[in-house]
């Protein structure tokens, strides 16, 4: 299956499957009810993650079928969390198992390659889940990341194209105001998929540039998670406790609309992904320098911009 076919199939299937699964979710009661940390006033169906999985399944089966195994496991874990909830300890154990499976399928180079892939899976599952707080945000940021992986090319190109196209079809219905959500199933699926793409990208381009590009390609989810942890530590609050002070929440508090916030953050991830495409072309010194400067810039944004300052009312 060539690149245009991958994009057409994944986008088309997502475009058809997403509204169907929204109706299924309503019929069986798998919906997100309004709550104190929620932005919606009425129940919104989940199962958007199932639509994304169905959309990528065909192209991946033709190119890298083994990747579907950890992705399916992540989807099932998320579905269990959406339907009845999973205790944090059990969820972490399941994430470790999914990471181990992913590490056996797509280890990065080196003697600890499987462990590195597993760590990427666990980290990105949680980072994407934390980012999924506004209509179209997690899906839009992940689309920008997947597009970056596709541009870098190599072994990650075909699965990245499939993921980007599937998310594009899903976002037709998830854009504000969302008619369906990813749910935990979708967030866990996307986090796992991005981790697998990272492992494949490191394996194929290789060298320092390949390693330096990965943080840029997943920068927004990691940045938001880092800000959340730093803020909670400074406030002496539970690191894993929920609140309404994520980066996107703070942008809204500063006067941006929800749509503007989503567009700003998706655009930021797109710029960072473009930077990653440049990094992989540089020699070791240039790649390290640009990667380090980007990290310093993000830390400066978090600190000087006041994003890690605890909110007394949150």
Per-residue pLDDT at 165? 97
CA-CA-CA-CA dihedral for 50, 54, 55, 58, to nearest 10: 160
Cα separation, 151 vs 137, whole angstroms? 21
* pLDDT reported for residue 38: 59
Q: Is the pLDDT of residue 260 over 50?
A: yes
CA dist 202 → 51, 125, 157, 192 (Å): 28, 19, 12, 15
Instruction: State how far the Cα of 184 lies from the Cα of 49, in Å rounded to an integer.
Output: 8
Query: What ranges do the domains of the chain cover?
Result: 3-304
User: Which phi-psi region, left, alpha or beta, contains residue 107 (left: φ > 0; alpha: ψ -120 to 50)?
Assistant: beta
Contact between 172 and 16 under an 8 Å Cβ cutoff? The reply is no
**Over the stretch 128-177, which tens digit does the pLDDT of each residue have?**
999 998 999 999 999 999 999 999 988 999 999 999 999 999 999 999 88
State the pTM of this model: 0.92
111 class by beta-carbon count within 10 Å (0-12 exposed, 13-18 middle, 19+ buried): exposed
Dihedral through CA 83, CA 88, CA 89, CA 94, nearest 10? 50
Tokens 């703070």 belong to residue:
250
- For 163-213, the pLDDT digits (tens) are 999 999 999 999 988 999 999 999 999 999 999 999 999 876 667 888 889
Spatial contact of 133 and 40, defined as CB atoms under 8 Å apart:
no
Per-residue pLDDT, 134: 93
Cα(138)–Cα(247) distance, integer angstroms: 13
């Amino acid at each position: 299956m060539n690149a245009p076919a991958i994009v057409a199939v994944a986008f088309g299937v997502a475009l058809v499957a997403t509204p169907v699964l929204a109706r299924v979710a309503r019929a069986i009661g798998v919906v997100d009810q309004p709550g104190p940390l929620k932005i919606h006033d009425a129940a919104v169906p989940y199962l958007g993650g199932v639509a994304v999985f169905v959309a990528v399944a065909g192209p991946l089966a033709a190119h890298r079928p083994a990747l579907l195994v950890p992705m399916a496991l992540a989807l099932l874990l998320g579905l269990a969390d959406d339907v009845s909830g999973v205790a944090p300890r059990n969820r972490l154990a399941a994430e470790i198992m999914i990471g181990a499976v992913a590490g056996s399928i797509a280890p990065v180079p080196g003697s600890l390659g499987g462990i590195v892939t597993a760590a990427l899976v666990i980290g990105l599952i949680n980072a994407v889940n934390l980012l999924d707080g506004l209509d179209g945000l997690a899906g839009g940021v992940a689309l920008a990341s997947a597009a970056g992986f596709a541009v870098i090319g190599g072994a990650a190109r075909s699965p990245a194209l499939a993921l980007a196209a599937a998310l594009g079809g899903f976002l037709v219905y998830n854009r504000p105001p969302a008619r369906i959500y990813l749910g935990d199933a979708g967030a866990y699926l996307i986090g796992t998929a991005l981790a697998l793409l990272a492992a494949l990208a490191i394996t194929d381009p290789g060298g320092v540039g390949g390693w330096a590009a990965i943080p840029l390609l997943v920068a927004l989810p990691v940045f938001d998670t880092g800000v959340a942890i730093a803020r909670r530590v400074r406030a002496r609050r539970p690191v894993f406790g929920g609140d309404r002070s994520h980066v996107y929440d703070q942008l809204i508090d500063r006067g941006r609309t929800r749509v503007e916030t989503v567009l700003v953050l998706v655009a930021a991830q797109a710029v960072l992904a473009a930077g990653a495409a440049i990094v992989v072309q540089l020699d070791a010194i240039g790649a390290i320098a640009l990667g380090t400067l980007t990290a310093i810039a993000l830390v400066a944004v978090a600190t000087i911009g006041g994003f890690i300052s605890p909110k007394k009312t949150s």
